[in-house]
């Protein structure tokens, strides 16, 4: 009888220990998530303004977007050497990307592609579909008129063209996927397709990246040639709340009245929560947006990490006097993050013990 009771006690103790370990493990997981939330930020890695002297300024745009465990490169700047330098200084590993978005065909957004492909040749690249564009093209062979009375040697493809005619790109080995309409490429991640109707960029195709977050849409734009208000309006079809718009707003040569109109549209009509203008927004427009949005204006110079949600937005907006970490501060910041990772692991082990 005693041996039976002892056996039952041992079974109960073992069962309690198992439940305790499971519970502690869940606490550990929860603790780790609290200490180390997934990154949700945009880092500007190519632009012509910024405060970090270790980075090289140049006219163009590129940004790394980290959200939901995904790493997305948006555009590649103008010069492959400068892209390589800035990526190295910011410790951005371009060989580890989930995909790339090319906003449009202008050289100050695609010039760094050669460097990108040298370190990540197979990465998927989304680009706008253009008629005989640099990213490639395809169309049905029915596009041209035929004359069956001609002898074969005077006819295209001897009179037997393929159903779909494919045309090469400036990067024939790149893994392009061409987009010709607004498309959800992953759950909650959309590419907004627009065509410019402006006189200087008539028929230019452009992609913008719209990411659904708990606070609303975060919209990353390249140059906004079709019109920033037109792009934002398309984003509201996904979610009426626009949490943040960042990138090039294309007001660099606009008159004050035109700038005031676009500022009013974003602030009053679309009620955008935050703006983080970069690249071709223009210096007078920086001033106008800052005046209208106040502390909801986020500095977005070269090297700046811009938070994508309410908890991390202050990353780029801590003060007006110090708007970006220098190289030493960046090293310290990364060291602290690393130490935080180590401490969370050690804490988890202590809980399990």
With H, G, I as helix, E, B as strand and everything else as coil, classify residue 224: coil
CB 63 within 8 A of CB 75: yes
Taking every pair of C-alpha atoms in the chain, what is the biggest distance, in angstroms?
Answer: 106
Following DSSP, what letter does each residue of 282-303 receive, concatenated? -HHHHHHHHHHHGGGB----TT
| Residues comprising the chain, all counted | 353
Q: How far is CA 7 from the centre of its chain?
A: 60
More confident residue, 63 or 326: 63
The b-or-e profile of 120-159 (16+ CB within 10 A means b, else e) is beebebbbbbbeebbbbbeeeeeeeeeeeeeeeeeeeeee
Looking at residue 96, its pLDDT comes to 97
Token pair belonging to 80: 């492959």
For 120, the token pair is 């990540």
Beta bridge partners of 65: 42, 72
**Whole-Å CA distances, 159 to 136, 137, 138, 142:** 24, 21, 19, 12
> pTM here?
0.77
> Does residue 10 or residue 260 have the better pLDDT?
260
Whether pLDDT at 257 is above 50 = yes
pLDDT above 60 for 13: no
Angstrom distance (rounded) from CA 13 to CA 7: 10
| Rounded average pLDDT over 264-281 | 97
pLDDT of residue 22: 43
Six-digit token string for 3: 């041996």
Q: Residues 48-99: pLDDT tens digits?
A: 999 999 999 999 999 999 999 999 999 999 999 999 999 999 999 999 999 9
pLDDT digits (tens, 9 = 90+) for 194-249: 999 988 888 999 999 999 999 999 999 999 999 999 999 999 999 999 999 999 99
Q: What digits encode the pLDDT tens for the residues 283-311?
A: 999 999 999 999 999 999 999 999 997 66
Give the chain's radius of gyration (CA, Å): 26
Task: Copy the structure tokens of residue 262.
Answer: 């676009």
Measured at the alpha carbon of residue 148, what is the angle toward residues 144 and 150, in degrees to the nearest 5? 100
Q: Which two tokens stand for residue 343?
A: 């401490």
**In the sheet where 41-46 sits, what is the strand order?**
175-179, 124-128, 99-101, 70-74, 62-67, 41-46, 305-307
Distance CA 50, CA 77 (A): 15
- What's the token pair of residue 81? 């050497």
Position 198 scores a pLDDT of 87
Bigger pLDDT: 344 vs 123: 123
pLDDT tens-digit profile of 114-131? 999 999 999 999 999 998
């Amino acid at each position: 009888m005693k041996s039976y009771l002892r056996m039952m006690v041992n079974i109960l103790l073992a069962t309690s220990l198992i439940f305790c370990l499971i519970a502690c493990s869940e606490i550990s997981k929860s603790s780790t998530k609290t200490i180390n939330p997934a990154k949700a930020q945009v880092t500007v890695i190519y632009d012509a303004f910024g405060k970090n002297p270790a980075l090289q300024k140049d006219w163009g745009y590129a940004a790394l977007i980290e959200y939901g465990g995904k790493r997305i490169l948006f555009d590649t700047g103008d010069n492959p050497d400068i892209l390589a330098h800035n990526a190295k200084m910011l410790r951005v590993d371009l060989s580890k990307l989930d995909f790339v978005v090319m906003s449009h065909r202008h050289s100050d957004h695609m010039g760094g592609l050669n460097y990108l492909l040298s370190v990540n040749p197979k990465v998927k690249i989304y680009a706008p579909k253009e008629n005989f564009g640099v990213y490639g093209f395809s169309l049905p062979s029915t596009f041209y008129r035929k004359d069956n009375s001609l002898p074969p040697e005077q006819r295209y493809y001897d009179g037997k063209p393929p159903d779909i005619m494919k045309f090469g790109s400036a990067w024939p080995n790149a893994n392009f996927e061409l987009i010709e309409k607004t498309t959800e490429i992953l759950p909650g991640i959309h590419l907004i397709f627009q065509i410019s109707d402006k006189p200087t960029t008539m028929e230019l195709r452009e992609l913008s990246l719209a990411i659904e977050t708990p606070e609303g849409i975060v919209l990353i734009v390249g140059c906004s040639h079709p019109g920033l208000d037109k792009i934002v309006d398309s984003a509201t079809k996904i979610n009426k709340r626009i949490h943040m718009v960042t990138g090039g707003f294309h007001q660099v040569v606009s008159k004050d009245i035109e700038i005031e109109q676009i500022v009013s549209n974003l602030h009053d009509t679309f009620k955008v929560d935050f703006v983080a203008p970069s690249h071709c927004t223009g210096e007078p427009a920086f001033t106008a947006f800052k005046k209208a949005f106040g502390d909801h204006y986020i500095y977005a110079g070269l090297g700046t990490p811009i938070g994508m949600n309410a908890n991390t937005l202050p990353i780029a907006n801590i003060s007006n006097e110090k708007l970006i970490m220098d190289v030493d501060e960046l090293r310290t910041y990364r060291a602290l993050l690393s130490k935080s990772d180590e401490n969370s692991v050690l804490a988890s082990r202590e809980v399990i013990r």
